Amino acid sequence: MAWKRNPAPPSVYRRQLSARFKELRAQAGLTLTEVSAVVEVSQGSLSRIENGDRGTTPVLAKALLDCYGITDPAAREDILDLVRADAAQRQPWWKKYSAVINTTKYGGYLALESSADSLRTYETELVPGLLQTEEYARQVIGNMRFDLGPHQVEALVQVRMGRRDLLAGSNAIKLWAVIDEAAFRRVPDPAVLDGQLEHLLQVMTRTNVTVQFLPFGAGFHPGLDGPFVLMGFPDPNPEVVWMENGPNSVYFEGIEEVTHYTEVFDHLRARALGPPETHAHLTSMLKENRT
């Protein structure tokens, strides 16, 4: 598997940019060594740009386009738009929380999530972050991250609340979540569970959000290895699978791995309650919690 540990993965724009530069160089019939001599940038730096490991600047992008003989104004502007978009995404809305995010290695996930257009997520123990209420998130983060102080916990709570904006507006992403029953049975505070269930029932009315409840009665299933997120992006970018394992979160984008987790997710969808049945079941749980 093409594992990438503790990543700060490239934005969707940088991934497009790296592929385009690699393609243009191939069409020009040039080696990295030859390009390096023309634009006076080290071969290593050019290689990192083509691999998506680093961004570039409009000045260098123009020099590369000149080197590759790209004179069409529209084609050049397309490349420069990607350069600007990548640079803008390196100044994200969560930057003011970077002190705590950097210590949690959370920024990589946020960078990918913010440029995705669809998410398919399976959760075993928790309601997915995009669907959490503020108090639920505070309880979860405060108990999971015992190594953080109150101010750091609160910063992560606010980041989680900010992420919910991805589900609203004209550019809202599509979210399909399969949530194990344990995510609800584990909540010790009835008031927190009450608020979380109410929020889920409300957000499930949105056309871009699908939620399915996986009951304990489903028995053993292919998702027992743990939670994962399948992240889809605008063409031509490949899907990515993200998995968290304490401090060692990983992502991979190989066709074999993405196909495997797509099939796992399809099995989980088939075993879970359908969306209407899930709505009815969560409504019943809410009434039960209030008695």
Report whether 90 contacts 97 (CB < 8 A): no
Give the residue-averaged pLDDT of 70-91. 82
- Looking at per-residue pLDDT, the higher value among 94 and 9 belongs to 94
Query: How far apart (Å, rounded) are the C-alpha atoms in residues 270 and 266?
Result: 6
pTM of the model: 0.74
pLDDT band at 94 (very low <50, low <70, confident <90, very high): low
- How buried is residue 175: exposed, middle or buried, by Cβ count under 10 Å (0-12/13-18/19+)? buried
pLDDT in tens, 145-163: 888 899 999 999 999 999 9
What percent of the chain stands above pLDDT 70?
A: 88
Strands 118-123 and 174-180 come out as: parallel
Show the domains of the chain with their CATH numbers.
Answer: 10-89 (1.10.260.40), 104-290 (3.30.870)
